[in-house]
């Protein structure tokens, strides 16, 4: 059920958009109104989610430490796994954001005969997550050719490198195939591994299925149904220039692709996909572990409440403590 | 709000990147490409919509047939014989690469590798011959 419902939802979107894309009136709705609406929801939703996070106080240092803390001068600190200043935090964050260092530490647990519990390193999640995210980035950058005129210099360079193998016409992009393979892995991982399947929810399957469908419809447009790219650019470049025109003769599959992308944009701010912004705001990663060097005071502490040491406490309640038989330090 | 100094610039950068396409264009309207139609010819080897969308597939099939299978015989469409060749077939009617091929290709950032091997017709000469 947890896989089936997201699957049916995406399928329903595809059917509705495919049929809608055949009607001229609905084409305008799917190709012009929906993208503007979805983009607006995406930007406003994203920004307000981040602002909401920024309003939450993080009074104490809660970095996850995975190495030796900075201590006495002859003890070598682990600067990346237990950063003690801003520069080291910056290094940790850069590696986290660009290389997904946390996923690199992913482990697996297996029960062997005995019974014996065995832990081991598992790098597949890290590898395929990295492939997936970078392919997605390249694909998004390549799409700039449809929204800009003149086309930025780096877009043809990316296209050249991506289509380096010159397979078929139009050329097969490496990132397209890597993208689909990686997302298929991430999906199958949730289905096949019992442990991960147990904790997987519809909110985990839905984005995977949706993004896979986006990739597949994109490839269908390029290789199977073949849309008129010049007509498509008339529409998309018009969107970016805020003077949308809807040329006739665009195949329905294009509107399926656009509707799915719009669904992703609308879904984005309300879902786990917000890790795109959230990774920058993870207190367990972006704080330095300097608890021993610096005293951090909770900002909303009532200044009227003075510190009350144990010695003072005992002075205040000594008689009652003695009566109750509680041992005291000073008689 | 906490950490204003990083959150606000971060969000501005994010919105700026998301609006890259809008900011890059400067809001100007993009003109559709108008490839020059050949003089004296009304029809191509396939219908217009097919040629718009799938001409590259046809060229690939032709290349394979001619170069790898040796099937060089010309094809007949509507009583007109066409040579299965980019230089002598397509470019026989569409005399200018600049005014035909490149208009749409540059518009959509498509850089096919046809011209790595083929020689594009000389612009002036081809025009004179066509006249």
Q: What is the pLDDT of residues A147-197, one digit of tens each?
A: 988 889 999 999 999 999 988 888 999 999 999 999 999 999 999 988 899
User: In the prediction, which pLDDT does B33 show?
Assistant: 87
Instruction: Please give the average per-residue pLDDT across A63-90, as a whole number.
Output: 92
**Could you report the per-residue pLDDT of B103-113, keeping only the tens digit for each?**
999 999 999 98
Per-residue pLDDT at B26 exceeds 70: no
For residue A60, give every residue at least 6 positions away whose Cβ sits within 8 Å of its Cβ, in sequence order, or none.
A296, A298
Query: Facing residues of B80 across strands?
Result: B77
Which residues in A have their CB inside 8 Å of a CB on B?
42-43, 46-47, 50-51, 54-58, 144-149, 151-152, 155-156, 159-160, 166, 168-170, 226-230, 233-234, 237-238, 240-243, 247, 249, 277, 280
B19 to chain A: closest CA residue: A240
For residue A47, give every residue at least 6 positions away whose Cβ sits within 8 Å of its Cβ, in sequence order, or none.
B11, B14, B15
Six-digit token pair at A158?
């990316």
| Nearest neighbour of B21 by CB, restricted to A57, A148, A156 | A148
The proportion of chain B whose per-residue pLDDT surpasses 90, expressed as a percent, equals 24
Q: How far apart are CA A20 and CA B6, in angstroms?
A: 44
Query: Cα-Cα-Cα-Cα dihedral of A279, A283, A287, A292, to 10°?
Result: -160
Categorize the per-residue pLDDT at A215 as very low, low, confident or very high, splitting at 50, 70 and 90: very high
Q: How far apart are CA A14 and CA A7, in angstroms?
A: 11
Cβ neighbours around A233 below 10 Å, total: 23
- Among A97, A142, A229, the strongest candidate for a mutation testing the B interface, having the largest count of B CBs within 10 A, is A229
Six-digit token pair at B125?
């000469």
DSSP notation for A234-263: HHHHHHHTT-----S---HHHHHHHHHHHH
Q: How far apart are CA B120 and CA A215, in angstroms?
A: 35
Q: How far apart are CA A120 and CA A107, in angstroms?
A: 6
Percent helix / strand / coil, chain A, rounded to 5: 60, 5, 35
For residue A231, give every residue at least 6 positions away whose Cβ sits within 8 Å of its Cβ, in sequence order, or none.
A247, A248, A249, A250
Q: Cβ contacts (< 8 Å) between A61 and chain B: which residues?
A: none
Pinpoint the alpha helices (H) of chain B. 4-18, 20-25, 48-63, 91-93, 102-107, 114-117, 123-130
Which residue in A130, A173, A182, A180 sits closest to A155, CA to CA? A173
For residue A233, give every residue at least 6 positions away whose Cβ sits within 8 Å of its Cβ, in sequence order, or none.
A145, A146, B30, B107, B108
Q: Which of A31-40, A159-168, B29-38 has the highest mean pLDDT?
A: A31-40
Instruction: Please give the average per-residue pLDDT across A217-241, as a whole number.
Output: 91
CB distance A288 to A86 below 8 Å: yes
| Between A210 and B94, residue with greater pLDDT | A210
Q: How far apart are CA A244 and CA A251, in angstroms?
A: 18
Angle at CA A196, nearest 5°, toward A190 and A202?
60
Per-residue pLDDT at B17 exceeds 70: yes
Q: Is the peptide bond before B9 cis (omega within 30 degrees of 0)?
A: no
CA distances from A299 to A57, A59, A284 (A): 9, 7, 19
Instruction: Please give the average per-residue pLDDT across B116-125, as a whole number.
Output: 77
CB distance A207 to A187 below 8 Å: no
Contact A240 B25 (CB under 8 A): yes
Q: How far apart are CA A156 and CA A136, in angstroms?
A: 17
Q: How far apart are CA A141 and CA A139, in angstroms?
A: 5
CA distances from A321 to A309, A328, A329, B15 (A): 16, 7, 11, 62
Query: Facing residues of A312 across strands?
Result: none
What is the value of pTM for the model shown? 0.89
Q: Cβ contacts (< 8 Å) between A155 and chain B: which residues?
A: 109
Q: Mean pLDDT in chain A?
A: 92
Q: How far apart are CA B65 and CA B71, in angstroms?
A: 5
Per-residue pLDDT at A67 exceeds 80: yes
User: In the prediction, which pLDDT does A91 show?
Assistant: 95
Q: Cβ contacts (< 8 Å) between B112 and chain A: which residues?
A: 169
Per-residue pLDDT at A300 exceeds 60: yes
**Could you report the per-residue pLDDT of A124-140, keeping only the tens digit for each?**
999 999 999 999 999 99
The proportion of chain A whose per-residue pLDDT surpasses 90, expressed as a percent, equals 73
């Amino acid at each position: 059920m947890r896989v089936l419902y997201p699957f049916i939802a995406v399928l329903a979107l595809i059917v509705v958009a495919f049929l809608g894309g055949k009607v001229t009136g609905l084409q305008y709705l799917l190709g012009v109104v929906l993208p503007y609406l979805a983009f607006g929801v995406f930007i406003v939703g994203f920004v307000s989610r981040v602002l909401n996070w920024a309003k939450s106080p993080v009074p104490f240092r809660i970095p996850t430490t995975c190495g030796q803390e900075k201590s006495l001068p002859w003890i070598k600190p682990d600067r990346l796994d237990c950063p003690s200043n801003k520069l080291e935090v910056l290094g940790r964050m850069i590696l986290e954001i660009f290389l997904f260092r946390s996923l690199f530490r992913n482990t697996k647990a297996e029960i062997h005969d005995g019974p014996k519990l065995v832990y081991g390193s598992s790098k597949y999640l890290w590898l395929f997550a990295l492939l997936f995210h970078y392919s997605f980035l390249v694909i998004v950058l390549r799409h700039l050719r449809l929204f800009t005129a003149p086309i930025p210099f780096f877009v043809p360079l990316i296209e050249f490198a991506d289509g380096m193998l010159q397979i078929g016409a139009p050329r097969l992009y490496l990132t397209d195939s890597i993208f689909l393979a990686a997302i298929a892995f991430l999906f199958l991982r949730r289905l096949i591994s019992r442990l991960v399947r147990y904790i997987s929810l519809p909110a985990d399957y839905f984005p995977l299925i949706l993004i896979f469908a986006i990739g597949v419809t994109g490839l269908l447009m390029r290789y199977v149904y073949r849309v008129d790219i010049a007509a498509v650019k008339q529409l998309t470049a018009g969107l970016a220039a805020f003077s949308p025109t809807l040329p006739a003769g665009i195949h329905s599959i294009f509107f399926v692709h656009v509707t799915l992308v719009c669904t992703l944009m609308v879904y984005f701010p309300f879902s786990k996909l917000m890790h795109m912004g959230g990774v920058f705001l993870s207190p367990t990663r972006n704080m330095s572990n300097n608890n021993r060097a610096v005293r951090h005071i909770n900002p909303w502490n009532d200044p009227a409440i003075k510190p009350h040491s144990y010695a003072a406490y005992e002075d205040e309640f000594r008689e009652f403590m003695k009566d109750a038989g509680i041992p005291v330090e000073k008689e | 709000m906490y950490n204003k100094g990083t959150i606000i610039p971060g969000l501005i950068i994010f919105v700026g990147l998301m609006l890259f396409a809008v900011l890059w264009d400067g809001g100007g309207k993009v003109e559709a490409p108008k490839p020059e139609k050949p003089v004296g010819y009304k029809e191509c080897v396939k219908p217009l919509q097919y040629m718009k969308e799938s001409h590259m597939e046809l060229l690939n099939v032709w290349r394979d047939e001619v170069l790898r299978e040796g099937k060089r015989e010309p094809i007949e469409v509507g009583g007109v014989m066409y040579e299965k060749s980019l230089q002598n077939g397509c470019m026989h009617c569409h005399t200018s690469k600049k005014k035909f091929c490149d208009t749409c290709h540059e518009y959509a950032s498509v850089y096919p590798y046809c011209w790595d091997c083929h020689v594009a017709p000389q612009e002036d000469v081809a025009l004179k011959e066509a006249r």
